[in-house]
Amino acid sequence: MDNRLNIMLLNDIEDQIKDMFSGNELITLTNEFAKSVGENVTIQVVGFNSKKDILSKNISDMSDNAKIKFFDQLKTIERVSDNPKLVMKIDELIASKLPLIENTRNNITNLLSDYSSNITTAWKESVIFYNDQKYRGALDSIRLTLELLLKKLLGNDKSLENQKAL
């Protein structure tokens, strides 16, 4: 299964969005979002770039998961949400990526099910936190999952920081 986003659909969405915002607004939207998810984009100030170039380049700089989150947030902006056909295309783009995310989570859950229930429980809690956009809780639960797994694999009770290098 190809895990890349549908390029044709992505281009169609970009073509519609570029007409809804100014160049400055597109730069602000993409830059602020990229910073919020810990990513960087190329175009950070208005220059001689077209709105399509600004949007395409900055979106292409993002990971696929960040793109999905960006479009999910973008459709809550009134100018976008007032266009039901565009919202439907964004939903289609998002839906095309979700099976891969779910499959990955399920694979991890299945791998961890071979170990004690507290490891699996910590992992499932991280998924719940992530789905609720409580990223700090998700990170803490993932860290706990990793620590519990290492303790089990290495047969000791040391914290993650105190594990010895092999």
DSSP string, 59-88: HHTS-HHHHHHHHHHHTTSHHHHT-HHHHH
| CA 166 – CA 155 distance, rounded (Å) | 14
Q: Are 86 and 21 in contact (CB under 8 A)?
A: no
pLDDT of 133 > 80? The answer is no
What's the rounded mean pLDDT across residues 113-137? 88
Does the pLDDT value for residue 3 go beyond 60?
A: no
The mean pLDDT value for 74-84 works out to 94
Query: What is the C-alpha to C-alpha distance for residues 5 and 62, in angstroms, rounded to an integer?
Result: 12
Residue 57 CB partners (closer than 8 Å, separation 6+):
41, 42, 43, 49
Residue closest to 17 by CA, chosen among 4, 34, 29:
29
Token output for 159: 């914290």
Res 132 pLDDT > 80: no
Alpha-carbon distances, residue 60 vs 7, 46, 51, 134 (angstroms): 10, 18, 14, 26
Amino acid at 92: E
Measured distance CA(140)–CA(126) in Å, rounded: 8
Selection from 71, 75, 87, 6 nearest residue 33 by Cα = 71
pTM of the prediction?
Answer: 0.58
